[in-house]
Amino acid sequence: MKISGGVLCGGGARSNAVPLFLSRRISSLHISSSSSISDHVSFVKDVAATQPPQHLSQLLAILKTRGDTIISPGAKQGLIPLAIPLSQNSSGAVTALLRWPTAPPKLEMPVVEVRKHGVWLLAKTVDQYIHRILVEEDAKNSQERNEELFNASADAGEKLYRKGDFAESGISNLDGYLLKEVGIFPDVLERKVKRHFEEGDQVSALVTGEFYAKKEHFPGFARPFVFNAEVMLRVGRKVEAKDAARGALKSPWWTLGCMYQDVANIAQWDDEQIEYIKEKVTEEGRQEDLKKGKAPAQVVLDEAAFLLDLASIEGNWDDYLEQIAKCYEEAELNDVAKFILYKS
């Protein structure tokens, strides 16, 4: 059963373990070759009703230079409605910004990869993602390196990374440099754990898995807890794996980084969680919460979060848009409601 707690960036009640502030291929996207970089800045400001990241234009230029196709920011059909599409690569993966519904004004939007069942965190900020891309490009040999990418980064690149720093650092492992000099990233930490297992070092794998799942590292995201559950399961700690999986399911299900059922299996839950949430989004469930003294605005924010959870199970986001938007309207978050319903 879900444990009520503070208001998350996602807009609903979750465990107190999460702080307040807070198929990979997507088909039928509207890819607009005429969509200019300035369109995204305007969209973030005027439609998503939030502050555009300072170096968003530079990130878009970098994505375009590395071969991605820039997508119209309003091409949200079929995607999780909290995403602001940026680009699509040759394999069909979509890079986007994540617009938390109830995030504090100064919290920058993270960069994510959009997947059928939700999102995968690429970087906690646009600057961090630009920094990572530049380091990874600089780590390539001179024949493979795309010098135009550094030019595309313009002043952001000059501010964030000096070409040659990776080679001069003496750190031979690219992932090691990223963790030490750029920031922590889910895929990098997961690779580190897998390397420890390959080397037969279970202790280091467990320590890194626990580090990954520390509350303060990726607030609002369930993926670290899911991965930690998988690590526990791999070393035969079934009870701890079950607890970690249940902890993951207290965060938004669209941040699990995998299908809901994969985590529910580790948590040893059948359909009771889904049935519980379905009850919470009925009128009876709403009235029950109000009778318990929960503030009306919090009740509808919780309902919006639960609806996003339900939509993530099948990835059928568009079926829930009207209901989700109505919840935000009732919570007097009209800008968020309009963003949710926006269609280009």
Enumerate the H helices of 183-222 as residue ranges: 186-198, 202-212
What dihedral do alpha carbons 232, 234, 235, 236 form, nearest 10°? 80
* pLDDT per residue as tens digits for the range 235-291: 999 999 999 999 999 999 999 999 999 999 999 998 888 998 999 889 988 899 888
C-alpha span between 43 and 52 (Å, rounded): 9
Q: What's the pLDDT at 32?
A: 43
Q: Is it true that domain 184-267 has CATH number 3.40.50.12780?
A: no
- Find where tokens 């980064």 sit: 153
Q: Is the pLDDT of residue 30 over 70?
A: no
DSSP run (H or E) holding 278: helix 272-280
- Find where tokens 């879900």 sit: 2
Of the candidates 295, 339, 226, the one whose C-alpha atom is nearest the C-alpha of residue 4 is 295
**Strand blocks (E) in the chain:** 69-70, 83-88, 94-98, 111-115, 118-123
C-alpha span between 163 and 59 (Å, rounded): 17
Let me know: does 296 contact 3? Beta carbons within 8 Å: no
Q: What's the pLDDT at 24?
A: 34
Domain segments of the chain as ranges: 40-181, 184-267, 273-341
> What would you measure as the largest C-alpha separation in the chain, in angstroms?
67
Of the candidates 155, 96, 94, 149, the one whose C-alpha atom is nearest the C-alpha of residue 123 is 96
| Residue 15 token pair | 């465990």
Q: What's the pLDDT at 22?
A: 38
pTM: 0.88
Residue 172: band (very low, low, confident or very high) from pLDDT cuts 50, 70, 90:
confident
Phi, psi of 159 (to 5 degrees): -75, -35
- Find where tokens 């965190």 sit: 121
Q: What's the pLDDT at 333?
A: 95
Q: What's the pLDDT at 273?
A: 87
Count other Cβ atoms within 10 Å, centred on residue 166: 22
Q: Is the pLDDT of residue 4 over 50?
A: no
* pLDDT per residue as tens digits for the range 51-93: 999 999 999 999 999 999 999 999 999 999 999 999 999 999 9
